[in-house]
Structure formats: structure tokens, C-alpha cells
């Protein structure tokens, strides 16, 4: 399945885009996605931390990704 990942803040600069696409297997998890992203964008590993969100909720490493989920990479937040 093809998934799109939205990027914000420093992640948008690392991706060079506000959205990237990846091809993944149908039972892929958040951990699998992190691994793939870090392979393609090694600068992610230099961040203090980052999370992934699925459909506007913070996701856990074992969560499964489904086609058409809205996925976003959330670098360390700094609002306020």
C-alpha cells in the first residue's frame, strides 16, 4: 500500500517537502514506518525525539497502519 506522511516544523525541512509517500506492506506498523523513514532521511535520527500521529492521535510503536490513514510526523513540539 502507498501511504502519505505529512511533515511539520524541522521534519518538513528534513523531507524537503510538507508531504512524502512511501510504499509499505499491508500489515506495517509504526515501528516499521520509523525504520523506513530513518533509512531514507537519516537526519531524523539527530532530532531530540519525534512521534508519529495516525488520524490526529499520537501513535504507539506497535500500532498498525492502514491505507488512507492520515499519518504525520511530529518533531519535538514547541508551542506556547
Partner 1 sequence: MNTQILLSAQTLDIQSCIDWIMSPESGGIDVFIGTVRNATKGKKVLRLDFEAYEPMAISEMNKIAAQAFERWPIQKILIHHRTGLLQVGEVPVVIAVSAAHRDAAFDACRYIIDTLKQTVPIWKKESFEDGDVWVAAHP
Residues that bind partner 1 (CB under 8 A): 6, 8-10, 13, 46-48, 53, 56-58, 72, 74-80
Assign 13 to helix, strand or coil.
helix
Residue number, 17 or 27, with CB nearest to partner 1: 17
Least distance to partner 1, CB of residue 16, Å:
15
Question: Of 27 and 45, which has the nearer Cβ to partner 1?
Answer: 45
Tell me which H or E stretch contains 36: helix 30-40
Q: Distance between CA atoms of 57 and 29, rounded to whole angstroms?
A: 15
Calpha distance 18→6 (Å, rounded) = 6
Closer Cβ to partner 1, 27 or 68, answer by number: 68
Amino acid at each position: 500500500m502507498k501511504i502519505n506522511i505529512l511533515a511539520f516544523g524541522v521534519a518538513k525541512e528534513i523531507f524537503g517537502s510538507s508531504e512524502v509517500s512511501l510504499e509499505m506492506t499491508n500489515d506495517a506498523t509504526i515501528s516499521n514506518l520509523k525504520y523506513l523513514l530513518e533509512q531514507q532521511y537519516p537526519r531524523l535520527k539527530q532530532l531530540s525525539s519525534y512521534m508519529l500521529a495516525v488520524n490526529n492521535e499520537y501513535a504507539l510503536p506497535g500500532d498498525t497502519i492502514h491505507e488512507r490513514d492520515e499519518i504525520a510526523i511530529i518533531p519535538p513540539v514547541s508551542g506556547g
